[in-house]
Structure 1
Amino acid sequence: MVRRGEIGLETDVLLAQKGDKEAFTRLIEECELTLYRVSKGILKDDADCADAIQETILKCYHSITQLKQPKYFKTWLTRILINECNDMLKKRKKLVLLESVDAFGSSEKNPEEFTELKEALLKLDDKHRIVLILFYYEEFSIKEMAQILKVREGTVKSRLNRARHRLLSIINLSKNERGVENE
Protein backbone atom coordinates (compact mmCIF):
# COMPACT_ATOMS: atom_id res chain seq x y z
CA MET A 1 0.00 0.00 0.00
CA VAL A 2 1.47 3.35 -1.06
CA ARG A 3 0.88 6.15 1.41
CA ARG A 4 -0.09 9.63 0.34
CA GLY A 5 2.98 11.59 -0.70
CA GLU A 6 5.33 8.60 -0.66
CA ILE A 7 6.56 9.24 -4.22
CA GLY A 8 7.18 12.93 -3.46
CA LEU A 9 8.97 11.91 -0.30
CA GLU A 10 11.29 9.58 -2.22
CA THR A 11 12.03 12.32 -4.75
CA ASP A 12 12.87 14.74 -1.94
CA VAL A 13 15.17 12.14 -0.37
CA LEU A 14 17.07 11.78 -3.64
CA LEU A 15 17.32 15.56 -3.98
CA ALA A 16 18.44 15.94 -0.34
CA GLN A 17 21.10 13.29 -0.88
CA LYS A 18 22.45 15.50 -3.67
CA GLY A 19 22.59 18.50 -1.31
CA ASP A 20 19.20 20.16 -1.93
CA LYS A 21 18.50 21.90 1.41
CA GLU A 22 14.92 22.81 0.46
CA ALA A 23 14.13 19.15 -0.24
CA PHE A 24 15.61 18.21 3.13
CA THR A 25 13.47 20.87 4.82
CA ARG A 26 10.36 19.47 3.11
CA LEU A 27 11.24 15.97 4.35
CA ILE A 28 11.56 17.15 7.94
CA GLU A 29 8.35 19.19 7.73
CA GLU A 30 6.54 16.12 6.39
CA CYS A 31 7.72 14.07 9.37
CA GLU A 32 7.55 16.66 12.16
CA LEU A 33 4.33 15.39 13.77
CA THR A 34 5.66 11.82 13.75
CA LEU A 35 8.91 13.02 15.32
CA TYR A 36 7.01 14.80 18.08
CA ARG A 37 4.59 11.97 18.81
CA VAL A 38 7.28 9.31 18.94
CA SER A 39 9.62 11.41 21.09
CA LYS A 40 6.74 12.35 23.40
CA GLY A 41 5.89 8.67 23.69
CA ILE A 42 9.35 8.04 25.13
CA LEU A 43 10.35 11.26 26.87
CA LYS A 44 8.47 13.29 29.48
CA ASP A 45 9.47 16.86 28.88
CA ASP A 46 8.79 18.94 25.76
CA ALA A 47 12.27 20.45 26.03
CA ASP A 48 13.76 16.93 26.01
CA CYS A 49 11.63 16.08 22.98
CA ALA A 50 12.86 19.21 21.21
CA ASP A 51 16.48 18.30 22.00
CA ALA A 52 16.02 14.74 20.75
CA ILE A 53 14.33 15.94 17.57
CA GLN A 54 17.04 18.54 16.93
CA GLU A 55 19.80 15.94 17.36
CA THR A 56 17.88 13.54 15.12
CA ILE A 57 17.57 16.15 12.37
CA LEU A 58 21.29 16.94 12.59
CA LYS A 59 22.26 13.27 12.43
CA CYS A 60 19.87 12.73 9.55
CA TYR A 61 21.24 15.74 7.65
CA HIS A 62 24.83 14.57 8.02
CA SER A 63 24.14 10.95 7.12
CA ILE A 64 21.28 11.09 4.57
CA THR A 65 23.67 10.04 1.81
CA GLN A 66 24.08 6.71 3.64
CA LEU A 67 20.38 5.87 3.24
CA LYS A 68 20.30 3.22 0.54
CA GLN A 69 16.55 3.02 -0.09
CA PRO A 70 14.73 6.38 -0.15
CA LYS A 71 11.34 4.71 0.41
CA TYR A 72 12.47 3.86 3.96
CA PHE A 73 13.33 7.46 4.89
CA LYS A 74 10.58 7.82 7.50
CA THR A 75 11.43 4.45 9.06
CA TRP A 76 15.13 5.35 9.12
CA LEU A 77 14.45 8.80 10.61
CA THR A 78 12.18 7.31 13.28
CA ARG A 79 14.85 4.76 14.21
CA ILE A 80 17.41 7.56 14.64
CA LEU A 81 14.93 9.43 16.86
CA ILE A 82 14.18 6.40 19.04
CA ASN A 83 17.91 5.79 19.47
CA GLU A 84 18.42 9.43 20.41
CA CYS A 85 15.57 9.33 22.94
CA ASN A 86 16.90 6.12 24.46
CA ASP A 87 20.38 7.63 24.68
CA MET A 88 18.95 10.62 26.54
CA LEU A 89 17.19 8.30 28.99
CA LYS A 90 20.36 6.28 29.56
CA LYS A 91 22.39 9.43 30.19
CA ARG A 92 19.94 10.56 32.83
CA LYS A 93 19.75 7.02 34.28
CA LYS A 94 16.07 7.23 34.93
CA LEU A 95 12.88 5.98 33.38
CA VAL A 96 10.69 8.79 32.11
CA LEU A 97 7.03 8.12 31.48
CA LEU A 98 4.75 9.97 29.15
CA GLU A 99 3.05 12.78 31.04
CA SER A 100 1.08 14.78 28.54
CA VAL A 101 -1.84 13.16 26.76
CA ASP A 102 -1.70 15.90 24.15
CA ALA A 103 0.95 13.89 22.29
CA PHE A 104 -1.82 11.70 20.96
CA GLY A 105 -3.96 14.50 19.57
CA SER A 106 -7.55 15.16 20.47
CA SER A 107 -10.96 15.40 18.94
CA GLU A 108 -12.06 19.00 18.34
CA LYS A 109 -15.72 17.98 18.40
CA ASN A 110 -15.52 16.15 21.72
CA PRO A 111 -12.24 16.61 23.65
CA GLU A 112 -13.36 14.14 26.33
CA GLU A 113 -13.87 11.43 23.71
CA PHE A 114 -10.33 10.05 23.95
CA THR A 115 -9.51 10.94 27.55
CA GLU A 116 -10.09 7.40 28.82
CA LEU A 117 -7.96 5.94 26.03
CA LYS A 118 -5.16 8.45 26.64
CA GLU A 119 -5.15 7.77 30.36
CA ALA A 120 -5.03 4.03 29.69
CA LEU A 121 -2.10 4.51 27.28
CA LEU A 122 -0.21 6.34 29.98
CA LYS A 123 -0.49 3.28 32.23
CA LEU A 124 1.24 0.99 29.69
CA ASP A 125 4.96 0.35 29.87
CA ASP A 126 7.14 1.98 27.21
CA LYS A 127 7.58 -1.01 24.90
CA HIS A 128 3.82 -1.55 24.66
CA ARG A 129 2.88 2.13 24.41
CA ILE A 130 5.40 2.74 21.60
CA VAL A 131 4.07 -0.11 19.43
CA LEU A 132 0.54 1.27 19.76
CA ILE A 133 1.72 4.78 18.85
CA LEU A 134 3.71 3.55 15.85
CA PHE A 135 0.91 1.27 14.62
CA TYR A 136 -2.25 3.28 15.23
CA TYR A 137 -1.11 6.90 15.27
CA GLU A 138 1.76 6.78 12.78
CA GLU A 139 0.38 3.89 10.70
CA PHE A 140 3.66 2.02 10.34
CA SER A 141 3.40 -1.56 9.11
CA ILE A 142 4.56 -4.50 11.23
CA LYS A 143 7.62 -4.81 8.99
CA GLU A 144 8.47 -1.10 9.35
CA MET A 145 7.99 -1.29 13.11
CA ALA A 146 10.34 -4.28 13.29
CA GLN A 147 12.98 -2.25 11.45
CA ILE A 148 12.45 0.81 13.65
CA LEU A 149 12.56 -1.14 16.91
CA LYS A 150 15.25 -3.55 15.68
CA VAL A 151 13.27 -6.62 16.67
CA ARG A 152 11.68 -9.46 14.72
CA GLU A 153 8.26 -9.05 13.14
CA GLY A 154 6.94 -11.77 15.46
CA THR A 155 8.10 -9.75 18.45
CA VAL A 156 6.26 -6.69 17.13
CA LYS A 157 3.11 -8.76 16.62
CA SER A 158 3.25 -10.20 20.13
CA ARG A 159 3.95 -6.79 21.71
CA LEU A 160 1.07 -5.30 19.76
CA ASN A 161 -1.23 -8.13 20.83
CA ARG A 162 -0.18 -7.82 24.49
CA ALA A 163 -0.51 -4.03 24.34
CA ARG A 164 -4.05 -4.29 22.99
CA HIS A 165 -5.04 -6.78 25.71
CA ARG A 166 -3.43 -4.71 28.47
CA LEU A 167 -5.07 -1.55 27.17
CA LEU A 168 -8.47 -3.26 27.14
CA SER A 169 -7.91 -4.58 30.68
CA ILE A 170 -6.96 -1.13 31.92
CA ILE A 171 -10.04 0.42 30.31
CA ASN A 172 -12.34 -2.30 31.68
CA LEU A 173 -10.82 -1.97 35.15
CA SER A 174 -11.32 1.77 35.01
CA LYS A 175 -14.97 1.31 34.00
CA ASN A 176 -15.51 -1.19 36.82
CA GLU A 177 -13.98 1.20 39.34
CA ARG A 178 -16.39 3.91 38.19
CA GLY A 179 -19.31 1.52 38.28
CA VAL A 180 -19.92 1.62 34.53
CA GLU A 181 -21.21 -1.60 32.96
CA ASN A 182 -19.06 -3.21 30.28
CA GLU A 183 -20.60 -3.04 26.86
Structure 2
Amino acid sequence: MDSLDIQEVMRARQGDREAFTRLMRQLETPMYAVAKQIVQRDEDCADAMQETVFIAYKSMYTLREPAYFRTWIIRILINECRRLLKQRNKQVPLTDLSDKPSPSPEEDDGLELREAIDSLELPMRLVVVLHYIQDLPIKEVARTLEISEGTVKSRLYRAREKLLRWMEKSRGVESQYESR
Protein backbone atom coordinates (compact mmCIF):
# COMPACT_ATOMS: atom_id res chain seq x y z
CA MET A 1 0.00 0.00 0.00
CA ASP A 2 2.77 2.45 -0.82
CA SER A 3 4.11 4.15 2.28
CA LEU A 4 0.77 4.37 4.10
CA ASP A 5 0.75 2.33 7.28
CA ILE A 6 -2.21 -0.04 7.58
CA GLN A 7 -2.13 0.34 11.37
CA GLU A 8 -2.44 4.11 10.91
CA VAL A 9 -5.47 3.55 8.68
CA MET A 10 -6.98 1.25 11.29
CA ARG A 11 -6.48 3.90 14.00
CA ALA A 12 -8.09 6.52 11.76
CA ARG A 13 -10.98 4.18 11.05
CA GLN A 14 -11.51 3.82 14.79
CA GLY A 15 -11.80 7.60 15.17
CA ASP A 16 -8.18 8.69 15.82
CA ARG A 17 -8.16 12.23 14.38
CA GLU A 18 -4.37 12.57 14.49
CA ALA A 19 -3.94 9.34 12.54
CA PHE A 20 -6.43 10.58 9.93
CA THR A 21 -4.60 13.92 9.70
CA ARG A 22 -1.24 12.18 9.21
CA LEU A 23 -2.72 10.05 6.42
CA MET A 24 -4.19 13.09 4.71
CA ARG A 25 -0.87 14.91 4.88
CA GLN A 26 0.83 11.95 3.19
CA LEU A 27 -1.76 12.01 0.41
CA GLU A 28 -1.92 15.78 -0.06
CA THR A 29 0.53 15.95 -2.99
CA PRO A 30 -0.90 12.97 -4.92
CA MET A 31 -4.43 14.28 -4.34
CA TYR A 32 -3.49 17.70 -5.66
CA ALA A 33 -1.86 16.19 -8.76
CA VAL A 34 -4.99 14.19 -9.58
CA ALA A 35 -7.35 17.11 -8.90
CA LYS A 36 -5.20 19.45 -11.01
CA GLN A 37 -5.49 17.12 -14.00
CA ILE A 38 -9.27 17.11 -13.74
CA VAL A 39 -10.32 20.61 -12.70
CA GLN A 40 -7.15 22.54 -13.66
CA ARG A 41 -7.70 25.63 -11.48
CA ASP A 42 -5.95 25.75 -8.09
CA GLU A 43 -9.03 27.05 -6.29
CA ASP A 44 -11.10 24.19 -7.69
CA CYS A 45 -8.39 21.73 -6.60
CA ALA A 46 -8.53 23.14 -3.09
CA ASP A 47 -12.35 22.91 -3.01
CA ALA A 48 -12.33 19.31 -4.27
CA MET A 49 -9.61 18.28 -1.83
CA GLN A 50 -11.33 19.94 1.12
CA GLU A 51 -14.63 18.25 0.32
CA THR A 52 -12.83 14.92 -0.16
CA VAL A 53 -11.22 15.14 3.27
CA PHE A 54 -14.58 16.01 4.84
CA ILE A 55 -16.38 13.12 3.11
CA ALA A 56 -13.59 10.67 3.93
CA TYR A 57 -13.55 11.68 7.59
CA LYS A 58 -17.33 11.39 7.87
CA SER A 59 -17.44 8.01 6.18
CA MET A 60 -14.19 6.46 7.39
CA TYR A 61 -16.18 3.65 8.99
CA THR A 62 -17.35 2.54 5.50
CA LEU A 63 -13.81 1.72 4.39
CA ARG A 64 -13.85 -2.06 4.16
CA GLU A 65 -10.22 -2.77 3.32
CA PRO A 66 -7.55 -0.59 4.98
CA ALA A 67 -4.99 -1.64 2.35
CA TYR A 68 -7.03 0.26 -0.25
CA PHE A 69 -7.26 3.52 1.69
CA ARG A 70 -5.32 5.48 -0.95
CA THR A 71 -7.52 4.09 -3.74
CA TRP A 72 -10.64 4.92 -1.72
CA ILE A 73 -9.51 8.53 -1.16
CA ILE A 74 -8.56 9.06 -4.82
CA ARG A 75 -11.94 7.66 -5.89
CA ILE A 76 -13.75 10.13 -3.61
CA LEU A 77 -11.56 12.93 -4.99
CA ILE A 78 -12.32 12.03 -8.61
CA ASN A 79 -16.04 11.99 -7.85
CA GLU A 80 -15.77 15.39 -6.15
CA CYS A 81 -13.84 16.85 -9.07
CA ARG A 82 -16.48 15.60 -11.49
CA ARG A 83 -19.26 16.96 -9.28
CA LEU A 84 -17.49 20.31 -9.14
CA LEU A 85 -17.14 20.43 -12.92
CA LYS A 86 -20.83 19.64 -13.38
CA GLN A 87 -21.80 22.17 -10.74
CA ARG A 88 -19.76 24.89 -12.38
CA ASN A 89 -21.05 23.75 -15.80
CA LYS A 90 -17.75 24.17 -17.53
CA GLN A 91 -15.40 22.29 -19.79
CA VAL A 92 -11.93 21.28 -18.62
CA PRO A 93 -9.68 23.98 -20.14
CA LEU A 94 -6.12 23.50 -21.29
CA THR A 95 -3.62 24.92 -18.86
CA ASP A 96 -2.85 28.56 -19.63
CA LEU A 97 0.90 28.86 -19.79
CA SER A 98 0.95 32.40 -21.21
CA ASP A 99 1.71 34.28 -17.94
CA LYS A 100 4.55 31.95 -16.97
CA PRO A 101 8.20 32.81 -17.67
CA SER A 102 9.88 31.11 -20.61
CA PRO A 103 11.10 27.66 -19.62
CA SER A 104 14.70 26.54 -19.78
CA PRO A 105 15.47 23.87 -22.42
CA GLU A 106 15.30 21.14 -19.73
CA GLU A 107 11.93 22.40 -18.45
CA ASP A 108 10.60 22.79 -22.00
CA ASP A 109 10.31 19.02 -22.50
CA GLY A 110 8.41 18.71 -19.21
CA LEU A 111 6.02 21.51 -20.17
CA GLU A 112 5.55 19.95 -23.59
CA LEU A 113 4.67 16.61 -22.02
CA ARG A 114 2.33 18.28 -19.51
CA GLU A 115 0.59 20.12 -22.35
CA ALA A 116 0.30 16.85 -24.29
CA ILE A 117 -1.24 15.10 -21.27
CA ASP A 118 -3.63 18.03 -20.77
CA SER A 119 -4.77 17.58 -24.38
CA LEU A 120 -6.01 14.03 -23.71
CA GLU A 121 -9.67 13.36 -23.06
CA LEU A 122 -10.42 13.05 -19.33
CA PRO A 123 -10.76 9.22 -19.22
CA MET A 124 -7.35 8.75 -20.84
CA ARG A 125 -5.78 11.60 -18.84
CA LEU A 126 -6.93 10.02 -15.57
CA VAL A 127 -5.37 6.63 -16.32
CA VAL A 128 -2.12 8.28 -17.41
CA VAL A 129 -1.95 10.40 -14.26
CA LEU A 130 -2.85 7.57 -11.90
CA HIS A 131 -0.55 5.00 -13.52
CA TYR A 132 2.47 7.02 -14.65
CA ILE A 133 2.46 10.06 -12.39
CA GLN A 134 0.92 8.62 -9.21
CA ASP A 135 2.63 5.26 -9.87
CA LEU A 136 -0.45 3.14 -9.15
CA PRO A 137 -0.42 -0.37 -10.60
CA ILE A 138 -2.99 -1.12 -13.32
CA LYS A 139 -5.08 -3.14 -10.86
CA GLU A 140 -5.32 -0.14 -8.50
CA VAL A 141 -6.12 2.25 -11.35
CA ALA A 142 -8.95 -0.08 -12.38
CA ARG A 143 -10.26 -0.28 -8.82
CA THR A 144 -10.00 3.50 -8.34
CA LEU A 145 -11.85 4.33 -11.56
CA GLU A 146 -14.24 1.37 -11.21
CA ILE A 147 -13.37 0.02 -14.66
CA SER A 148 -11.80 -3.23 -15.82
CA GLU A 149 -8.05 -3.76 -16.03
CA GLY A 150 -8.48 -4.33 -19.77
CA THR A 151 -10.09 -0.89 -20.09
CA VAL A 152 -7.19 0.67 -18.20
CA LYS A 153 -4.69 -1.05 -20.47
CA SER A 154 -6.51 0.00 -23.64
CA ARG A 155 -6.81 3.61 -22.42
CA LEU A 156 -3.10 3.64 -21.58
CA TYR A 157 -2.29 2.25 -25.01
CA ARG A 158 -4.48 4.83 -26.79
CA ALA A 159 -3.09 7.61 -24.58
CA ARG A 160 0.51 6.63 -25.40
CA GLU A 161 -0.34 6.61 -29.11
CA LYS A 162 -1.96 10.06 -28.90
CA LEU A 163 0.89 11.44 -26.80
CA LEU A 164 3.44 10.13 -29.29
CA ARG A 165 1.55 11.68 -32.23
CA TRP A 166 1.15 14.94 -30.30
CA MET A 167 4.85 15.08 -29.47
CA GLU A 168 5.89 14.19 -33.04
CA LYS A 169 3.55 16.84 -34.44
CA SER A 170 4.83 19.38 -31.92
CA ARG A 171 8.47 18.66 -32.71
CA GLY A 172 7.73 18.63 -36.44
CA VAL A 173 6.29 22.13 -36.19
CA GLU A 174 9.36 23.26 -34.22
CA SER A 175 11.78 21.85 -36.78
CA GLN A 176 9.82 23.57 -39.55
CA TYR A 177 10.36 26.94 -37.88
CA GLU A 178 13.99 26.18 -37.06
CA SER A 179 14.81 25.41 -40.70
CA ARG A 180 13.86 28.93 -41.86
TM-score, normalising length: structure 2 = 0.88
Shift in alpha-carbon separation, 1:98–1:14, aligned structure 2, 3 A = farther
Partners of 2:22 and 2:105 lie apart in 1 by 30
1:50 equivalenced with 2:54 (yes/no): no
Check whether the contact 1:97–1:126 (CA below 8 A) recurs between aligned residues: no
1:41 to 34, 37, 42: 37
Q: Distance in 1 between matches of 2:36 and 2:171?
A: 27
Moved more, 166-175 or 145-154: 145-154
| 1:126 aligned to which of 89, 105, 122 | 122
Amino acid aligned to 2:122: D
Instruction: Check the 8 A contact 1:39/1:85 in 2, yes or no.
Output: yes
- The 1-side partners of 2:94 and 2:9 are apart by 31
Task: Tell me which residue corresponds to 2:166.
Answer: 170
The letter for the 1-side match of 2:23 is L
Deviating runs (4+, > 4 A) in structure 1? none
Change (3 A) 1:56 1:163: same
User: Within 2, Cα distance between the matches of 1:86 and 1:98?
Assistant: 16
Counterpart in 2 of 1:94?
90
Q: Which residue of 1 aligns with 2:57?
A: 61
RMSD: 2.0
CA distance in 2, matches of 1:98, 1:85: 16
Higher mean displacement: 66-75 or 125-134:
125-134
2-side partners of 1:115 and 1:35: how far apart?
Answer: 20
1:31 Cα deviation after fit = 0.4
Structure 2 spans left out of the alignment, 5+ residues: 98-103
Please give the alpha-carbon distance, in whole angstroms, between the structure 2 residues aligned to 1:152 and 1:173. Answer: 31
Cα offsets for 1:53-74 (capped at 9, x unmatched): 0000000001111101100000
Q: In structure 1, how many angstroms separate the alpha carbons of the residues matched to 2:13 and 2:118?
A: 38
The CA distance in 1 between the partners of 2:12 and 2:174, in whole Å, is 53
Task: Give the drift of 1:111.
Answer: 2.7
Letter in 1 for 2:145: L
**Counterpart Cα distance in 1 of 2:118 and 2:155:** 16
Change (3 A) 1:97 1:149: farther
* Structure-2 separation of matches of 1:70 and 1:110: 40
Aligned to 2:14: 18
Distance 1:44 1:34 in 2: 14
Residue 141 (1) aligns with residue 145 (2)? no
Letter in 2 for 1:23: A
Shift of residue 77 of structure 1? 0.2
Alpha carbons 1:17, 1:65 under 8 Å: kept: yes
